[in-house]
Amino acid sequence: MNDPKPATGIDLLRTASQNKSTAFTEEERDHLKLRGLLPAAVGSMETQIERVLANIRRKDSDIEKYIFLSALQDRNERLFYRLIMENIREIMPLIYTPTVGQACKEFANIFRTEKGFYVTANDRGRVREILNNWPHRDVRIIVITDGERILGLGDLGANGMGIPIGKLSLYCACAGIRPEQTLPVMFDVGTNNDELLEDPIYLGCKQRRLRDEAYFSLMDEFVEAAKDAYPGVLIQFEDFAADNAFTLLQKYRDNTFCFNDDIQGTAAVVLAGAYAATKISGIAFKDMKFTFLGAGSAASGIGSMIASALIAEGLSSEEAHQRLWYFNSKGLVNRSRENLAEHIQPFAHDLPDYGFLEALDVHQPDILIGATGRPGMFTQQIIQKIASIKERPGIFALSNPTSRAECTAEQAYAWTDGKAIFASGSPFDEVKYGSQTFRPGQGNNSYIFPGVGLGMMACKAQTIPESVFLESAKALADTVSASDLDAGAIYPVVDEIREVSLNIATAVAEHAYESGLATVPRPEDLRSDIQSMMYDPTY
C-alpha cells in the first residue's frame, strides 16, 4: 500500500504532513484549490513560528502547552518539527520530560486524536492482520511500551502511550527520522492500577495485567508481525517493569534489531557523563568507583555498561563489578541477600550489611547515582558525606520527571560548596552559587537513542550489541566542550542535539562497519551520507 497522493482543497489543509497553512503561495492556492480557504496574507515559516511561540508563551501551564503542541503536530507536521529544532531548549521539556509525565497521567482527559497503534490481549492471533490498518508501509522505527513503569510514576497502563509518541517526536526532531517512518505502539495488556481500573474514562483494557506465557507469547506475535510487515524495522522497548524489560531484551537482542532504552540508552548517557566527569575531577575513568541508590532495570543497566567499559580499560570482570555498589529499599545488595533479581546478582558482593553512610566511607565512590524514582533521597547528610570524601564528587540524580529527582541542582551545589559535578535526568535551570553560574548537565537519553537509531538504520545492522552503546557514550563525551566543563556541565547544550545525534550516528555506523554488523556497503563519505538521510522539515 502506497502513501496517499498529495491532497487538494480542504483535504490538503487537513493533511498534517502536507499542510503549510498560511504559507501556501498565491500560485499554490490557485493550483491546489485553496483559494478562499485561507486568509489573504501569505506568510512564511518564520512568521508562523513567531506566532506559535507567542501562543505557547501565553499558556498558563506546561500541560496546556503540551496540548497546544500536540494539536499543532496534528495540523502542520513540518511546522511542529521546525519549531522544536529551532527552539529545542524551550520545547523539549514540553513534549517530553518532565511534561510528558503529567500528560501520561492525564492521557484520557487530554485525548484528542489518534497518534499511535494499540495491541491488546483481544488481538491475539491477528496482530499481523491489524498492522495493515496503519497507513504507512515504510516504518523504520517502532517505540513500544506496556505502560507498567512510566518514568518514575509507575503503572499507568494505556495512558503510557504518551511515551512512544514523545520519543518518536524526538527521533524526528533530533536525528531527522521522517515522521511517516515511525510507529508508536501501546502493548495494552491491562493494568494493576486500581484507580485506572475504576476510572470510567480510562481508555485502556480494564483488566489485570497479563503475565508469564500469556504476556510473552503475545509479545512474540507482535515482534514477528512487525518484522514481517516492516522488514529491517528497529524496535525500541520503553518503560517496561524491570523483570519484563530484562527478559525481553535477553530474548530478542541476538535475533532482532532492537534495544531497550531504559537499560541501554540510559546506561550509555550515564557512562558518557562519567567519561566527561574525568575532565573536571582529574580522576581517570579506570580508577573510578560508583555507588547506586536504586537497583531496578535502569540502575543495573547502567552498572552493566560501566562494568563493560571498565573491562575495556583492562580490569577483570571481578575487579570491574567490585567498583559498583548498590543499595535498594532493603539495604546494601550483598551475597547474604535472598531472592535478588537476576539482573542485579552480578553486583552482590561479599560485604557486611553496611548502612548507606557507612558504605560511602568504606567504598569512597567518585560518583553517586540515583535511580529510585523517589524525590529527596539524596539528603544533605548524604551529599555532604560524599563531598567530604571526594574533592569533586559526581552527583547524578537521574529519576524522572524533575519532581522525582533524588535532589535538586541547587541542593547539590549548595551542600558541596559548589564542588559537585551534577547531572539529572530532567532539566534544571542554571544555578548561581557564589561567583559562579552552573549549568546543570541533563543526562537525558535523547542525547543517545536518536543517534544510535539513525546510525544503525543507515548501515542496516541486523542487531545492536552492547559495543554500539559503548561507542555512543564515547562519541557523546567527545562533544562536551571546554565551555561546557567551565560551566560545570558534563553534557553539551541541548541546542546542539541534532549535531550530537549526527556525530553519534556516524560513530556507531563506523563501528558497525568495522565489526561486521552492517549489511550494506560503506559509503565513501559516511557522515555526509547519513546527514543526507536526515529529514529537513522546511517549506
Which CATH number goes with the domain that contains 335?
Answer: 3.40.50.720
In a domain, 133, yes or no: yes
In a domain, 287, yes or no: yes
Task: Say yes or no: 481 and 351 in one domain.
Answer: no
Task: Say yes or no: 209 and 277 in one domain.
Answer: no
Which CATH number goes with the domain that contains 14?
Answer: 1.20.1370.30
Find the domain containing 9 and state its range: 1-43
Residue from 81, 96, 275, 326 carrying the catalytic annotation: 96
pTM: 0.94
In a domain, 55, yes or no: no
Three-class SS state of 346: helix
Which CATH number goes with the domain that contains 131?
Answer: 3.40.50.10380
Long-range contacts of 65-73 (CB under 8 A, 24+ apart): 65/94, 65/99, 66/94, 66/95, 66/99, 66/100, 66/102, 66/103, 66/110, 67/110, 67/112, 69/94, 69/95, 70/110, 70/112, 70/115, 71/112, 73/16, 73/115, 73/169
In a domain, 32, yes or no: yes
Task: Say yes or no: 375 and 511 in one domain.
Answer: no
279 is catalytic: no
In the block, residue with C-alpha cell 543526562 = 443
Task: Say yes or no: 470 and 365 in one domain.
Answer: no
Q: How many residues does the chain have?
A: 539
In a domain, 398, yes or no: yes
Which pLDDT does position 237 carry in this prediction?
Answer: 98
Residue from 20, 167, 390, 419 carrying the catalytic annotation: 167
Question: What single letter denotes the amino acid at residue 268?
Answer: A
Task: Say yes or no: 144 and 177 in one domain.
Answer: yes
The Cα 265–Cα 521 span in angstroms is: 27
Task: Say yes or no: 308 and 363 in one domain.
Answer: yes
Which pLDDT does position 311 carry in this prediction?
Answer: 98
In a domain, 69, yes or no: no
How does DSSP classify residue 432?
E
Which pLDDT does position 4 carry in this prediction?
Answer: 55
In a domain, 7, yes or no: yes
Task: Say yes or no: 279 and 406 in one domain.
Answer: yes
Task: Say yes or no: 328 and 428 in one domain.
Answer: yes
Whole-angstrom Cα Rg for the chain: 23
For residue 152, give the nearest of 93, 205, 97, 204 by alpha carbon: 97
The H-assigned helical ranges of 58-203 are 62-75, 77-86, 88-95, 99-105, 107-110, 127-131, 162-175, 194-197
Sign of the Cα torsion 54, 167, 510, 264 reads: positive
Task: Say yes or no: 316 and 362 in one domain.
Answer: yes
55: its cell numbers? 501562543
In a domain, 347, yes or no: yes
535 is catalytic: no
How many domains is the chain partitioned into structurally?
4
* Of 416, 445, 474, the domain-final residue: 445
Task: Say yes or no: 172 and 209 in one domain.
Answer: yes
Task: Say yes or no: 321 and 418 in one domain.
Answer: yes
* Of 445, 473, 498, the domain-final residue: 445
Which pLDDT does position 1 carry in this prediction?
Answer: 42
pLDDT along the chain (539 residues), means of 10: 73 97 98 97 98 98 98 98 97 94 96 94 97 97 97 94 98 98 98 98 97 98 98 97 95 97 96 98 98 93 97 97 96 94 93 97 98 95 98 96 94 98 94 96 95 98 97 98 97 96 98 98 98 97
198: its cell numbers? 475504576
Task: Say yes or no: 437 and 451 in one domain.
Answer: no
* Of 430, 445, 460, the domain-final residue: 445
